[in-house]
Structure 1
């Protein structure tokens, strides 16, 4: 059985389902909410590329190095975006969390915090990971702030690391959290979600 086997994670009004071709229309609609593919520092698929995006994620799951999720509103079933475990290293019990994007209408709501709480909890508590990592574009300042709010520590910057969609070469900012840091981070995430909770 795979170290990070497909699983559905649910709580705080969101549901993370293993990404499947059945999510294609919902994922395309989520990306269209804000025309997210136009953002230079993200990897959101253009509407006509949504199926290929899912097929790539499924091939990576088969290879054992990525487990992609569709993020849904638990009540309505509406697809809100996508996120993944990736760069999965069973031998050292490490995963990274990334490929994360959400419809513009749910950005800066409880959705990302709730999804990350589910994923970090599963990684540390069920998979017994020693480390969870994140990486982001050096110009994606919103992503860097969001990762730091989770309690992750900045490891450093890998210069000239990857191609952006516009053909320029990006530096990658690396973050991580160790298992011993998880209890404090979890308490803070619960606190943030309580503050976001509707009255």
Structure 2
């Protein structure tokens, strides 16, 4: 049975550290880079809601939230979480992920996912890691598929959006038997990105 606890992970210039209120100003600045709260398909907080966003992340059962930090400058550039942690079946999901606009389509997402997936499979010994996104978040779906995750299906009328509409949720997963190949693929992608 897995036991997920806050931990600091670092790789490729990216550090994941347990999210706390001391990340408030940095997270607010990261969200302002691109005014990400204006996207109806994400959970990025508006500036005045950032403290409540962090408190909710810390108080939500079965969730371990991280600040995503540029290790060279100690700048907060986003956030991500393990969530819907199910120890009885050795399952976690990775989500609540967003990055400052200037860090999107860079090495950051692949590096973060490699850190979280490596920790989940190699340290926690998870059987499966799930990922999910809004049915209209095509960029997120493409990013998840580039990781090597398999599409499990769509949960219809599944969760409310910030604008009051209800989204369908696209579910993905990686199972333990696929991890070696996914890990090799992610390292290959990072090496190509560095060229």
Same fold (TM over 0.5): yes
Q: What is the TM-score with the length of structure 2 in the denominator?
A: 0.98
Q: Deviations over 1:135-179 (max 9, x none)?
A: 100000000000001110000001000110000111000000100
- After superposition, residues 168-187 of structure 1 pair within 5 angstroms as 168-187=165-184
Equivalent residues, number: 194
Q: What is the TM-score with the length of structure 1 in the denominator?
A: 0.96
Q: Tell me the distance in 2 between the aligned counterparts of 1:72 and 1:194.
A: 21
Q: Tell me the distance in 1 between the aligned counterparts of 2:125 and 2:152.
A: 21
SS in 2 for 1:75: coil
1:153 to 147, 150, 153: 150
SS in 2 for 1:165: coil
1:76 to 73, 77, 87: 73
User: Could you list the runs of 5+ residues in structure 2 that have no partner in the other structure?
Assistant: none
Q: Deviations over 1:115-146 (max 9, x none)?
A: 00000000000000000001100000000000
RMSD of aligned residue pairs (Cα, Å): 0.8
User: Could you list the runs of 5+ residues in structure 1 that have no partner in the other structure?
Assistant: none
Q: Tell me the distance in 1 between the aligned counterparts of 2:171 and 2:121.
A: 19
- Moved beyond 2 Å, runs of 4+: none
Q: Are residues 1:189 and 2:174 paired?
A: no
